[in-house]
Amino acid sequence: MPETYVSEAMAAAVGRELERRVSYPIAASDIRRWVVAVYYPEDPPRLFWDELYAATTPFGGIVAPEDFNPFAWMAAEPAGVPRREGYDPNSTETRLGLPSAGLSFQLNGGLQAEYGVRMRPGDVITWVMRLGGYREREGRLGRMLFTDMEATWTNQRDEVVKRTTSTLIRY
Amino acid sequence: MTTDLQPGATIPPFQRTTGFHNWNRFAAVNDEFVDIHMDDGAGQAAGYPGAFGMGNLQWAFIHNMLRDWLGLEGRIVSVACQFRGPNLRNTVVTAHGTITAVRPTGSETLIDLDV
């Protein structure tokens, strides 16, 4: 096991843009399917699926839950079905054109989010993710590399929907 | 929102018994078909007893709890969480929240919770 996974090139890459995506317009039934999954086996709140009810609420219509992801399966930009390299534990570095850090596994270590305006049907979301930083720690499974990925999500009016930081644990 | 807005008060939990029925539905909406969430062998190869659920789904459970409590008048300002152990099959996952501070501001009241 190396003394550190973080090469000079990796340290120098902190702050660089990793990825940018633009969603297709969110469909009401994209939201409906999402809430069926996250509330299963119980019914989700009517705000997320019943247009007549949602129109009577302070939201004035269906909104997406804060945790909704409009980029599953396919985005408008980059076009086409996303490549599956995201499940490669070394993809963070390879996307930046850096040598592989030689990692074998990757887990979701944690999430942070600050929320702005709600996502609604018809919204087009732009997502820009940057490399936030690296930390290392010894864990039960040996040396672990914690990698923060910082993303800003904005809608078609350039309003911030959310700012998120996701932490990858790799080893 | 029926909870007393005082430090130490707890909000209603959100609870699910989790397994492939939950994980497969979430994989379908989040395009998250990762071997460790589908295959016991892959989970074991990663150092765990078997397949385990998505952190993103537990993240959603925390938001479900907060929204169910807030109702239509409140909003979630920010959330942070760490995933410290695997959510194995047939585990009962419970999102809990305890109020730690109540901070009136000019136009709204901010409530901090330990979730």
Q: What is the pLDDT of residue A166?
A: 96
Model pLDDT, residue B4:
82
Contacts of A109 in chain B (CB under 8 A): 55, 82-83
B64 closest CA partner among B50, B46, B56: B56
Inter-chain touch A40–B28, beta carbons under 8 Å: no
What are A7-17's pLDDT values in tens digits? 999 999 999 99
The size of the A-B interface in CB pairs under 8 A is: 95
CB contact under 8 A, A110 and B83: yes
Nearest to B59 among A33, A107, A111 (CB): A111
Measuring CA to CA, which residue among B114, B32, B14, B6 is closest to residue B68? Answer: B14
The pLDDT value recorded for residue B64 is 98
Following DSSP, what letter does each residue of B2-51 receive, concatenated?
-S--STT-EEEEEEEE-SHHHHHHHHHHHT---GGGT-HHHHHHTTSSS-
Q: How far is B83 from chain A (nearest CA, A)?
A: 5
Q: What residues are paired with B79 via a beta bridge?
A: A113
Separation of alpha carbons A127 and A170, rounded Å: 23
Which pLDDT belongs to residue A24? 98
Q: Could you report the per-residue pLDDT of B59-111, keeping only the tens digit for each?
A: 999 999 999 999 998 999 999 999 988 999 999 999 999 999 999 998 899 99
Over residues B29-54, the mean pLDDT reads: 93
User: Using CA atoms, how far apart are residues B58 and B35, in angstroms rounded to an integer?
Assistant: 18
Cβ–Cβ of A33/B57 closer than 8 Å? no
Domain limits, chain A? 8-26+73-170, 27-63
Q: Select the more confidently predicted residue: B10 or A102.
A: B10
Judged by CB atoms closer than 8 Å, whether chains meet at A112 and B79 is answered as yes
- At residue A81, the pLDDT reads 82
Contact A113 B54 (CB under 8 A): no
For B9-13, what is the mean pLDDT? Answer: 97
* pTM (predicted TM-score): 0.92
The closest CB to that of A66, out of B45, B63, B73, belongs to B63
Q: What percentage of residues in chain B have a pLDDT greater than 90?
A: 88
Domain B15-94 fold is Thiol Ester Dehydrase; Chain A (3.10.129)
| ipTM for the whole complex | 0.94
Contact B38, B51 (CB under 8 A): yes
Q: Where are the domains of chain B?
A: 15-94
| pLDDT score, position B46 | 85
DSSP state of A168: E
- The arrangement of secondary structure in A8-26+73-170, i.e. its CATH architecture, is Roll (3.10)
Question: Which long-range contacts link A34-39 to residues 24+ away (Cβ below 8 Å)?
Answer: A34/A64, A34/A65, A34/A68, A34/A69, A34/B29, A34/B30, A35/A65, A36/B25, A36/B29, A37/B22, A37/B25, A37/B26, A37/B28, A37/B29, A37/B30, A38/A65, A38/A67, A38/B26, A38/B29, A38/B57, A38/B60, A38/B61, A38/B64, A39/B64
Q: Mean pLDDT throughout B42-64? A: 94
Q: Which pLDDT value is given to residue B70?
A: 96
Residue B2 in this model has a pLDDT that exceeds 70: no
Distance (Å) from the C-alpha of residue A69 to the closest C-alpha of chain B?
7
Number of H helices and E strands in chain B, helices first, is 3, 4
Reported in sequence order, the residue ranges of chain A that DSSP labels E, i.e. its strands, are 17-22, 106-115, 126-139, 142-154, 160-170
Q: Nearest residue of A to residue B31 by CA position?
A: A72
Q: Which residues of chain A fall below pLDDT 50?
A: none
Residue written as token pair 């501001």: B105
Q: Does the distance separating the beta carbons of A38 and B77 come in below 8 Å?
A: no
Q: Is A140 on the interface with B (CB under 8 A)?
A: yes
- Mean per-residue pLDDT of chain B: 94
